[in-house]
Structures are given as C-alpha cells and as structure tokens.
Amino acid sequence: MATPLIEARNLSVRFGVGRLTVAALDDVSFTLAPGESLGLVGESGSGKSTVLRALTGLAPLSGGSLKLGGVAVPTPRRMNFFTAVQMVFQDPYASLHPRHTVDQILAEPLAIHRIPHAETRIVAALREVGLGPSYRFRYPHQLSGGQRQRIAIARALILRPKVVLLDEPTSALDASVQAEILNLLEDLRRAFGLAYILVSHDLAVVAHLCERLIVLRQGRMIEETTAGALRDGSVKTDYTRAMLAASGGFTRVGPTAPPTAPLRNT
Amino acid sequence: MAAGPSPLTAWLTTAEPQSRTQARVGHAYQSFRRLARNPTAMAGLVIVGLLVFVAAFAPLLATHSPIASGDLRTERLLPPGPVFWLGTDDQARDIYSRLLYGSRLTLAVVILVSIIATPIGLAIGTVSGYFGGWLDRVLMRITDIFLAFPRLVLALAFVAALGPGIENAIIAIAITAWPPYARLARAETLTIRNSDFIHAVRLQGGSSLRILLKHIVPLCLSSVTVRVTLDMAGIILTAAGLGFLGLGAQPPTPEWGTMIAQGRRFLMDQWWVAAVPGIAIFVVSLGFNLLGDGLRDALDPKASR
Amino acid sequence: MTPLLEVEDLHVRFPLTEGTIEAVRGISFTLGRERLGIVGESGSGKSQTGRAILGLTARPGEVTAKRLAFDGIDLMAAPERLRRSLRGSRMTMVMQDPRYSLNPVMTVGQQIIESYRAHKRVSGRDARRAALAMLDEVRITAPDRVMALYPHELSGGMGQRVMIAMMLITGPELLIADEPTSALDVTVRGEVLRILDQLVAERGMGLILISHDLEMVASFCDRVLVMYAGKIVEELASGALDQARHPYTRGLIGCLPKLAGDSHPLPVLTRDPAWAR
C-alpha cells in the first residue's frame, strides 16, 4: 500500500488544567489514503469536530503523532500544510467575512500564498462550484445559504489541496440544498482526486459520501466500519446500532408503553 | 440624473460589475446612497461640509481681521448689526470673522485628534483582544488607568507638563481620547476572533498580522469610526475647555473655547459674545453626532437592499 | 363539537421599505386533539404560522385571517389581554434551542414555578410540588436536584425536557413545538419525542409540530401539512409519505440521502414557479 496521505496515531487532546482536565479526544488513530473519503460520526461531545481542529492545529495535541504524506507535521503548521489541507465549516453564515465580497474572500488565500493570475483563478474557482462570475462582487449577506457554502468550498479548493476537511458541511442547509452540495462535493472529488474527512451526525450523509467511517463517543473511537456495513445493518456495537435506529425517524412503542431504554440525565 | 437611470448610474448600480474598480466604486456609491436616504445624517453631513467650507475660505468670507482690534472707544461690545454681523467683543474685534477663523482651529483639533487617537485605540484594542493572555492584561490595565481619570483633568495634567499652546492641547486630547476606542475595539475583537471566518484565514496560512490588519481591523473600524464621530463633540468641548482655562490656544488666536472664556465676563449684559461661539460649538458637535449615527448604518453593507 | 383550532385564510405580511414580504399566503386548516405536523424548508412560512396563531408575530408583521379561532374564541377579535392570558395557560410553544429560551440567571425550578404561578393562584409550596411532579413527568430523575440547576448546566436533551415541563405545567390544550428536536442528538431526539408523544396522548392535547424534517414529522404526526412559499401544497396522512403527489413533496423526499438504496448523484429538486402561485 502506498504511503497514506494522512496518518494519525494515538491523537489525544485535553482541555483545562489539573483536576479539571477534560479529555476531548483520547487515543484516536486513523489513516487516509489519497482520494479516499473517511467519515467521522458521533453525537455532540463525541470529539468528532475536535479531530479536525487537532489536524489543523486549532486545538493543540497533548499526545500522539500526525503525518502528512509520510512526513511528521510540525506545530505550528508550515505553509505547505495549508496548501495540502483545507477545511469547509459547518455554518456558511459564520465562515465568510461579512464585510468582504466574494472576490476578496477568494483572493485572500491566493494573496497569502503569492499565487499569480488571481483574477482568472477566482473566476475559474467560481465556475467550479457552479456559480457564474456574476457572483464575484457580492457580499455574503446577498447570497443564500447554499450559495455561501459553495463559496466556502471554492475558497477551500482554490489552493488545490489534496485533503478537504468537511465539518458538517450541510447540516445548516435545507434538504434540497443539501442534495446539491453533496452532489457538488462528489463531482469535485472525482474531478480533482480529493480526499475528504467528513464530520457529521447524519449517518445517511456519511454513508452517501464516504466509504469508510469511524464512530466516536466521548472522545474515543468505538467502531470503525464501512458504509456498506451501515447500509445492511451489520455494525458491531450497540451504540452504532442505536444511532442507526434513531436516524430512521420516530417509532411509537405503543400508546402508553414506557420507553424501553433507560433515560440518561446528563 | 432626474431623467431615468443615466449610463453612469447604471454602471454604478449594476449587479454584475466587470472589474474590481467598478465594484469598489459601486459599493462606495451604494454606501453614499444609504447615507443620502437618511435625513438626519444628511443634516450632519451638511453641517460638517459647511464647517470645512468655512474653514477653507475664511479669508474670503471674513469681513474684518480676526486679530486686530477695532476702535476701542466706539466699537467695543456692539450687539449684532449691519456692520458687525454677530457683534464685537471687548477688544472691538468682529465676532463673525473670529468665528470663521476659529473654525480652522476646531477642524484642525478634530482631525488631528482623530487621526492620532483612532489608530492608537484600534491597535491596542485589537492586539489585546486577539492575543489575549498577559499582553491583554497589561494593555487593558494601562487603558483602565487612563479611563479612571476624568478626561479634562488628564488633559490638563498633560498640557501642564508639555506647556500651554494649541499643539500641546491637541496631543493631550489625543492621549486622553484613545482608551474608549481601545475598549471598544477589544470587545469587538473578542467576539470575532474565534469565528469561523477568522479560523478559515488561519487555515489558509494567514499570519496574525494579516488577520489583524485585513480581517479584524476593518470590522472594528466602522464601530470605532462611529464612536469617534460621536466623540467629536467631546473633543471640541475639551479643546474649548482647555482654551477656557488658558491652556489651549493663546490669545489673540480665535479659538471658540477661548472666545467663550473671554465672553464669560459680559454674559449678563452682552450675551452674544459668549453665546455665538457657544452656539457654533453646539451646532458643529451636533453635526458630527448626526453624521456619526448615519455612518453607522451606511458603513454596514448588510443594511443595503 | 368545535375544533380546538380553526385557521382560515391566514396571511402574515411584513411591510418593508422596499415592499411587502408575504410570509404566509392564505392557509387554512383545522386542528382537533391530534398531532399535526407542518413541514417546509426555510422561508416556507411554517414558523410564522405558529407564531401568528399564538399572536407572537414580530413587528412590523401583520396578521390577517378570515377566521382564527381557538376553542371557539375568535383570536382576531380578542383583545391583547385575553390573548396574553390564553398564551401560556391554554396554548403554548416550545422552541428550538432551550438554551436561548430559558432565562440564564434563574434556576430551572424558579422558572418553572414562576410560569406556573403566573397563571395559577397557588402557594409557593404547592407550586414547587407541581413543578417536581412535572419534571418527573418529563422523566427527569432526581427532579429536586435539577430544580436547583441553571440552564447552562443542562445538556441539550435535558434542557428541552425542562422547557417542555415549563410549558406544559399549566395544562395547556394546544402546544406548538417549533423544531423542538433539531438542536438535539439523534438518540436524545427519540426520547424527547416519546415524552412529547406520551404527554400529548395522556392529556388529550392538540399538538402542532413544526419541522424541516419530513421523515421525522411523518413518523410522529397523525397528519402532515407540507408548506412551500407561504402556502400549503399538500396534506398527507401519517406514514403515507410514499403516497405524496405534489412534485415538491416528492422532490423533498427524493433528495435526501438514504441508507437503503442510495443514488449517486442525488436527485435535485427543481423548483417550479407554478408551485408558488
């Protein structure tokens, strides 16, 4: 097997000091091959977003090692890391600078990396995400949620990364817009040979976009499985099975029957 | 542009600008249109524009010398009339002419104070808010020390140390004016420094300096600008206060505050000597206030549509 | 027998400087003591419908209707005082995120007791007892411990259960739940819905569940109204999603990625301007 694009070994992230330390991530390991798509699934507090923050250096690692293309990733990250790894955030309303036009937003990464021919690159990047040049001088507030997310994707792709980290990229969008964005992400992946790490709470979205997935709970990996296993229900742990059952909609146990599962109070 | 949209208006308001220049000019035009729709802001703009005009053309508009005294026997403390439009003061000088020349000083004070104090406040506030930690604590304690003193008292202390004169008064006012801007900029920075769009720049490899200058400062700038224009009134009054106490502009320089100070003695019988510069200060302060309020709305692109 | 809620030709308009935006454009339905779902995407007017019924339309919004009646009371003609007393005692609302709808500086217990005593003349001790019983009903273990907590100390699921307890303690007949579970984890979502379901059934309340999640609503409610651009485009019976006829509803169902039988690429909803007419 060729060298994996990303190799994460025993990642752990702790917040706080002394007795108040909270392990947000505990001993998480995974690899990502070039062009592969990996899903990270879990509920709130599972640490799935912390994995992305740890990869990008936004959350400091307290243990473990991280390699990009076989080379250890230093902290703070070097410029070549940012050209290889980019990220799309959950909320397209918060991830675009409110006072910058689309043009300024897309010009920024090019200016930071001193890439020439910015104007033609920007128009090309807009076209890649299915927006015409007419959107170039608009402000984010003049765009719909789906259009904003397209701009965020264009910004991530304009540096031609090898890996795109997707942090719940469709959970703030309507279902019909979600479908468009998911299709776009699939097309772009095929066109540019991208590898994705997708964080989501929605099993159907993860199964749609990823071949392989990791289930996290309270900062630990509890299961590593495939989209196929998710589809035919052959998952190993009860927790994943419970999530799978819950995502199928509401099931009425009986008119007055008490709930079967004990209720958690935390 | 009364007869339908002219080619120029169409070029300015197009939804699809062809170049960055066109987009920039277009957005500036939109901001101006928003400002123009707001009558009180326009009133403020007219007052400030008038101040600039008067300051620029004071020699042409003045009817008398602002400094040379008239006939001290017959022209002292005259009420407003056909020769001396706003009356004369105790040195038999034409108040109207002094007022015109005084606007130059007022404008200079306002402009200098704002271009000195705004960058200091912005720099300290954004750096403090962005980096946090001990740097934040040190910078904010310094800011608090400045804020703890009444503005005029602090300015007085500085002028006393630097020596009286309008230049020193300006420096003293600027030194005392920045702390509120630093506080404001810091508060704004704290709310935006952890937002996703700042994370996104960091993930593109943007340096802290770049994030501060290109992403955080522009967001803080509009609220600080508004705050500065709202403070203009206070700046003018502080300058006037220093003049009044004899620590600002020195006689016979026509400074509005000094003029009030001199007119104070005749307030009961020759009210116009103090009232005219007083009204001028009031009107100009109001103008800046109204303009500042309008700018807040006009500078926010979200307010468009 | 009069239905619990009658809505006929309800409009909600927002006059803005650049023209009027019509969020709800003439919708009609009646509600008995049943679970009614209202489904739509953002901007469909579903939340504005719920707010208009309660009289919580934000200014400068205007509400007009041929008839808007709660248990025979004409709400359009009712004075503001009557509407306010109805709201909270006989009809009430649960919103999306409990963290924003609970007062951050009051304990859970104080808030529940306060909302109870605002409508019932009872002693503090009786109110406390009622609050404890209500928390027990929403399956909070150790309710007396939870009573002393502040909202930020609650998890999302517990916060939403507290919210439900607070809203249901006065024994309302109509509950409008606007995206009550969309801020919650999927496994917690089930619990909250079950609690809601049971309380509604036991008390014989009417429930309007507003959500963007068509599958969840269809599996929970007796009837589903699908809204698009301020209008009701389709009414569906419970669990009859496969019988949806309107192209919008069908498109909405089709564009969701599914665990069983997924399609690549996903079918995309093409909006027909005729739907909005």
One digit per residue, the tens of pLDDT, for chain B of length 305 reads: 445 567 888 888 777 788 888 888 888 888 888 888 888 889 999 999 999 999 999 888 888 888 888 777 788 878 888 888 788 888 888 889 999 999 998 889 888 998 999 999 999 999 999 999 999 999 999 999 998 988 888 888 888 898 888 888 899 999 889 999 999 999 999 999 989 999 999 999 999 999 999 999 988 988 888 888 878 878 887 887 887 788 887 778 888 888 888 888 888 888 888 889 889 988 998 898 888 888 877 776 665 43
Specify the amino acid at residue A124. A
Set of chain A residues whose Cβ sits within 8 Å of the Cβ of B27: 101, 137
pLDDT score of C87: 87
Determine whether the interchain pair B301/A99 forms a contact, defined as Cβ–Cβ distance below 8 Å.
yes
Residues (pLDDT < 70) of chain A are 1, 20, 253-266
What CATH number corresponds to the domain at position B196?
A: 1.10.3720.10
Closest Cα of chain C to A43: distance in Å? 6
Tokens for C174, please give them. 């109509």
Query: How far does A243 lie from chain B, in Å, by closest CA?
Result: 28
Contact (Cβ atoms closer than 8 angstroms) between residue A103 and residue A137: yes
Query: Are C186 and A208 in contact (CB < 8 Å)?
Result: no
Tell me which residue range forms the domain holding B277: 110-302
Residues from A contacting B (CB-CB < 8 Å) are: 56, 58, 77, 79, 81-83, 85-87, 89-91, 94-99, 101, 103, 108-109, 112-113, 119, 133-134, 136-139, 141-142, 152, 155, 159
At A8, list the tokens. Answer: 């994460």
When CB atoms are compared, the residue of A208, A250, A266 closest to C257 is A208
Q: Residue C182's domain spans which residues?
A: 30-46+96-276
Q: What is the ipTM of this complex?
A: 0.87
Query: What is the pLDDT of chain C when averaged over all its residues?
Result: 88
* Within a domain: B136: yes
* Percent of residues, chain C, with pLDDT higher than 70: 100
Contacts of C193 in chain A (CB under 8 A): 250
Q: How many CA atoms does the CB half-sphere of C5 hold within 13 Å?
A: 25
Q: In Å, how far is A159's CA from the nearest CA of chain B? A: 9
CATH number at residue C102: 3.40.50.300
CB nearest C41 (choices: A175, A201, A263): A175
If DSSP states are collapsed to H, E and C, what string results for chain C? CCCCEEEEEEEEEEEECCEEEEEEEEEEEEECCCEEEEECCCCCCHHHHHHHHHCCCCCCCEEECCEEEECCEECCCCCHHHHHHHHHHCEEEECCCHHHHCCCCCCHHHHHHHHHHCCCCCCHHHHHHHHHHHHHHCCCCCHHHHHCCCHHHCCHHHHHHHHHHHHHCCCCCEEEEECCCCCCCHHHHHHHHHHHHHHHHHHCCEEEEEECCHHHHHHHCCEEEEEECCEEEEEEECCCHHHCCCHHHHHHHHCCCCCCCCCCCCCCCCCCHHHHC
pLDDT digits (tens, 9 = 90+) for C32-42: 989 999 999 88
Which chain B residues have a beta carbon less than 8 Å from that of A91?
A: 196
Average pLDDT over residues C193-215: 89
pLDDT reading at C51 higher than 70 = yes
Give A154-207 as a 3 state SS string: HHHHCCCCCEEEEECCCCCCCHHHHHHHHHHHHHHHHHHCCEEEEEECCHHHHH
Q: Domain A6-246 adopts which CATH fold?
A: Rossmann fold (3.40.50)
For residue B197, give the nearest of A90, A96, A101 by CB distance: A96
Q: Which of B12, B19, B191, B197 should be substituted to probe chain A, the one whose Cβ sees the most A Cβ atoms within 10 Å?
A: B197
Q: Please give the Cα distance from A18 to A21 (Å, whole number).
A: 6
Separation in Å, CA of A45 to nearest CA in chain C: 10
What average pLDDT does range C135-163 have in this prediction? 87
Q: How many domains does chain B have?
A: 1
Break chain A into its structural domains and give their ranges: 6-246
Q: Is residue B101 part of a domain?
A: no
**Nearest chain A Cα distance for residue B257, angstroms:** 40
Count structural domains, chain C: 1
pLDDT of residue A258: 39
Query: Cβ contact (<8 Å) for B301 and A152?
Result: no
Residue C14, domain member (yes or no)? no
Q: What is the pLDDT of residue C10?
A: 94
pLDDT per position as a tens digit, C159-168: 888 888 888 8
Q: For residue C164, is it within any domain?
A: yes
Determine, for residues B196 and A142 on separate chains, whether the beta-carbon distance falls below 8 Å.
no
> Which of B23, B199, B206 is closest, CB to CB, to A101?
B23
How do residues C175-188 score in pLDDT, each as one tens digit? 999 988 888 888 78
Residue B90 lies in a domain: no
Comparing alpha-carbon positions, the chain C residue that sits nearest to A228 is C259
> What integer is the mean pLDDT of C94-110?
84
